[in-house]
Amino acid sequence: MSEGEVFHEKQRLELCAIHALNNVLQEQVFTKETADDICKRLAPQCVVNPHRSMLGTGNYDINVIMAALQSRELAAVWWDKRRTVQSLCVDKVQGFILNVPSRVSLGIVSLPVKRRHWLAVRQVNGHYYNLDSKLKSPVCIGNEADLRTFLSEVLSPDVAEMLLVVRRDVEEYGTWLNSDLRK
């Protein structure tokens, strides 16, 4: 599959969580409205919802991502960075959602401020792609070995986090981890 055939939503407002979800699912499933509805369900009594930006521009938290995945019969497994990515059973993982620091810019001006940013990585027709919504187009990472190198590099700073997007049964039985490492 060429990069032109890979589904890739581009960054808008502070909607990177929605873009990461749709990019990892390879279709537009979630919108700002559906994410806002999830926020309301998570905190129905709150005037100022703690799961999104007060300005209404997005900036959704992990709870929204997890609830969105659950609505699709999927689960998010928080990756324990004490493990090496070699212990991943990648064929059981549908995709990866990473939370990384990202520079803030206004137009062409980059500000000396960093915020958190959600991005997706997944396999499409045998190749893994970086589907970061801030990229102009998907970037082919390569094969499984290339994916492991990419993930190791992204996770090497202590400030990055990773979620594994898996089916619920994979989460329940822990089969996302190589069998010799499961407890």
Catalytic amino acids?
Answer: 16, 117, 132
- Amino acid (1-letter code) at residue 41: R
Quote the CA–CA distance of 2 and 79 in Å, as a whole number: 30
CA proximity to 14, closest of 42, 52, 43, 67: 52
Quote the CA–CA distance of 46 and 39 in Å, as a whole number: 10
**Which residues, in sequence order, are CB contacts of 10 under 8 Å at separation 6+?**
19, 133, 134, 135, 136
